[in-house]
Amino acid sequence: MYPAFKDVWNHIHDVLLPKYSQELNGVNIMSGPIFDNDFDGNVDPLQESSEKRARDMPTHFFMILTSCRNATLGPAECKGPLRARSFILPHRSNHTESCATGSDLTWVEDWLQLHVARVRDIELLSGLSFYHDRLLVAETLQLKTFIH
């Protein structure tokens, strides 16, 4: 992970996620790397050598925050519909995209909102599948395709 991005990643985890967790009465967080070196919006094929793959830097990182739509319940107690907020964050070596300078990271929350994505986009880019165990197909489709 690039050092400049690691500062942003740590700020998200140390400042923003606790804030969102409090606002939403708890969140389930799923995150990970994305490798889209050809920038086609789909997961890259596995490299011939797992050693080479280990050296590759992710092009992006994803984050999916899931909470209960009924804000009086936490994720563990939620029996009803869920709400998902998801992001695809470009993994860059500097902050030129945001025009940020210095160590003040107050701009990160606005930057995060510029990279809102559908869960389905994350599935296409990561090769993973989310929410496949939901009982109602309509709810699963809404979670995967709605941008919050």
pTM for the structure as a whole: 0.84
For 4-37, write each residue's pLDDT tens digit.
899 999 999 999 999 999 999 999 999 999 999 8
Q: What range defines the domain where residue 42 resides?
A: 3-145
Q: How many domains does the chain have?
A: 1
CA distance 60 to 84: 19
The tens digit of pLDDT for each residue in 45-80 reads 876 545 555 568 899 999 999 999 888 888 888 888
| Gap between the Cα atoms of 58 and 48, Å rounded | 17
Can you give the CATH number for the domain in which 114 is found? 3.40.570.10
What's the helix, strand, coil split of the chain in %, to 5? Answer: 35, 20, 50
- Per-position b or e across 23-52, b if 16+ CB within 10 A of its CB: ebbbbbebbeebbbeeeeeeebeeeeeeee
